[in-house]
Amino acid sequence: MINVKNLTKLYGEQKAVDDISFEVKKGEVVGFLGPNGAGKTTTMRIITCYMLPSSGTIEVDNLDVHDESLKIREKIGYLPEHAPLYMDMNVVDYLKYIAELRNIPKTRQKDRIHQMIEVCGLRVELHKTIDQLSKGYRQRVGIAQAMIHDPEILILDEPTIGLDPNQIVEIRQLIKRLGREKTVILCSHILSEVQATCSRVIIINKGQIVADGTPEVLQAGFQGRERLIIEFKAPQNDTRAKLRTLENIEDVREVKTETPGCKSMQIESSKGKDLREAVFHLAVKEGWILLEMRREVSSLEDVFRALTGGRS
């Protein structure tokens, strides 16, 4: 559906995007991540035909951005980070205006507007002017304008900014539903949102792609050791003895506590070694009362920080 090949964008001598290539297929919900200035917005603007690349090619449904930009725009619904809303219009009039711009036949406009009002939860704010809406409801109007023409491709830049937790869950569910039949690219700084929504993640840093894969694969690739967190029933007067006993388990690399006498311990083992069964049998043998035992894996945030130079 979207095919990016050797894309480069120059601003003077600065390379905002540096020879990147990737494909996004129909039915994929792809998270496009990167720190500020990494090239995310520039890439999205080129895909949506807001600007041309300095070199390289982009095809959207086999249409080239150089030759078929108007046809490509018809296929894309775009929500930029700051949605371009007309503040003096009310919600209904604004959606009617967008429907006209998108050349939706008049016989279908009423139905499409009604669907967007229901899908985006705008009914209670219908007749307010947009400048009277909260930031969250303005964001909903922005999502509605991106979807009103039923595009094959949705590109959403920070779609849940300003939404409350319930609204965020609703938008996540909406994006997942849309991803069953559409191509969705989601730009977000909220990594938990990307992990909950996207089937694939592309990470860009300094204009170059540094990772591309499912969240699970990326996390597994950055898991240097297995980490097991265990907590014993307090009080613990024999922490040092427990540490020595746990260190004797095969494949244990390190056992540590945050503070002396702490009832919670962290056990690190070699990659791919699950020590939960061994720790459980040892606890039974020693008469220890375990309150908690859980494995910790690298989070998407850990991967992102490692690849983009963030400090751990």
- Say yes or no: 216 and 229 in one domain: no
- Say yes or no: 9 and 36 in one domain: yes
Compute how many other C-beta atoms are within 10 angstroms of the C-beta atom of residue 172: 17
Domain that holds residue 211: 2-220
Q: Considering only CA atoms, which of 171, 294, 144 is closest in space to residue 226?
A: 294
Rounded to 5 degrees, what angle do the CA atoms 221, 8, 209 make?
A: 5
**How far apart, in whole angstroms, are the C-alpha atoms of residue 77 and residue 254?**
51
- Say yes or no: 207 and 230 in one domain: no
In a domain, 305, yes or no: no
Q: Which of 220, 252, 270 is the last residue of a domain?
A: 220
**How far apart, in whole angstroms, are the C-alpha atoms of residue 188 and residue 293?**
32
Q: What is the CATH number of the domain that holds 242?
A: 3.30.70.100
- Say yes or no: 85 and 233 in one domain: no
Compute how many other C-beta atoms are within 10 angstroms of the C-beta atom of residue 47: 23
Per-residue pLDDT of the chain in tens (312 residues, 90 and over written 9): 899 999 999 999 899 999 999 999 988 999 999 998 899 999 999 999 999 999 999 999 999 999 999 999 999 999 998 888 999 999 999 999 999 999 999 999 999 999 999 988 899 998 899 999 988 889 889 999 999 999 999 999 888 877 788 878 877 888 888 888 889 999 987 788 888 889 999 999 999 999 999 988 887 777 666 788 888 876 555 666 777 788 888 888 888 875 555 578 888 887 777 888 898 988 888 888 888 888 877 778 888 888 888 644
- Say yes or no: 245 and 200 in one domain: no
- Say yes or no: 57 and 183 in one domain: yes
- Say yes or no: 69 and 140 in one domain: yes
**How far apart, in whole angstroms, are the C-alpha atoms of residue 117 and residue 287?**
60
Number of domains in the chain: 2
Q: Which amino acid is at 237?
A: N
Q: Is 166 helix (H, G, I), strand (E, B) or coil?
A: helix
Q: Whole-structure pTM over 0.85, yes or no?
A: no
Q: What is the CATH number of the domain that holds 166?
A: 3.40.50.300
**How far apart, in whole angstroms, are the C-alpha atoms of residue 122 and residue 292?**
44
